[in-house]
Amino acid sequence: MVDHIDMPCPKCRQLLRVRKQHIGHRLACTRCKHTFVVKAESFPPPPAPAPPPRPVSETDTLKQRLSALETELRQVRGALAASASCESETARQLQEAQQELAQVATLREQLRAALSESEKLRTQARTLQEKADRVDRLEDELRARGEEIARLTQERETREKEEKEHRAREAEKGTEERAAAQKESEERRQALEAEVARCRRELSILRRTLQSLGIVFESGA
């Protein structure tokens, strides 16, 4: 229960703080100095006591527990449903992951096969390249030999031509020399014949001279 109230002055309506112990006493307004007797009715009645708590019956307890259990059951069911859904999602994801793994394994196998094939092709390409290199070398060698043969052929032809020209020159020179020799030989023969003729004449003169002197020269000539 309150022990004071703020009540208005009956005259000027100024709010005045009045204690409960002043009930029946005369008070003066602090503002207008009006005096009045404080009445008990001015104070509000004490609040009604709270009703005694209703006794809780066993049925109510059971009902409350049931309700609580139902709530709990709903929560558990919800959680279970969520868990089942989650589990189903997980299983689905797991399956997808397994399928992806299988695909990855297949791709890896294909990649390995492709790499093996690629390696084989690379080896073949290397072999072909080596053969091509060998062919190139042989072609170079062949070309070099062809050039050498052409060079030797040309040299031989040049030499043969030179030799032929030399022979022709030699032959010409030989003919000239022979002609000169024949001419010289003829001149010498003529000279010798002239000498022989001169000697015969001298011999004839000498023989006649000897015969005139009475000497017989036995020589037959």
Q: Which residues bind Zn ion (CB under 5 A)?
A: 9, 11-12, 29, 31-32, 34
DSSP, residue by residue, 133-194? HHHHHHHHHHHHHHHHHHHHHHHHHHHHHHHHHHHHHHHHHHHHHHHHHHHHHHHHHHHHHH
Q: How far is the CB of 15 from Zn ion (least distance, A)?
A: 10
Q: State which residue, 32 or 135, has the beta carbon closest to Zn ion.
A: 32
User: Would you say 11 or 120 has its CB closer to Zn ion?
Assistant: 11
Q: What's the min distance (Å) between Cβ of 55 and Zn ion? A: 53
Distance from C-alpha of 28 to C-alpha of 18, rounded to nearest angstrom: 11
Q: Which is nearer to Zn ion, 12 or 180 (CB)?
A: 12
Name the helix (H) or strand (E) containing 35.
strand 35-37
Which residue, 14 or 95, is less far from Zn ion as judged by CB? 14
Q: Minimum CB separation from Zn ion for residue 37, in Å?
A: 14
One-letter identity of residue 35: T
Residue number closest to Zn ion, CB atom:
29
CB of 9 to Zn ion, least distance (A): 3
The per-type count for the chain, helices as H runs and strands as E runs, is 1, 4
Taken in order 20, 25, 28, 29, is the CA torsion positive or negative?
Answer: positive
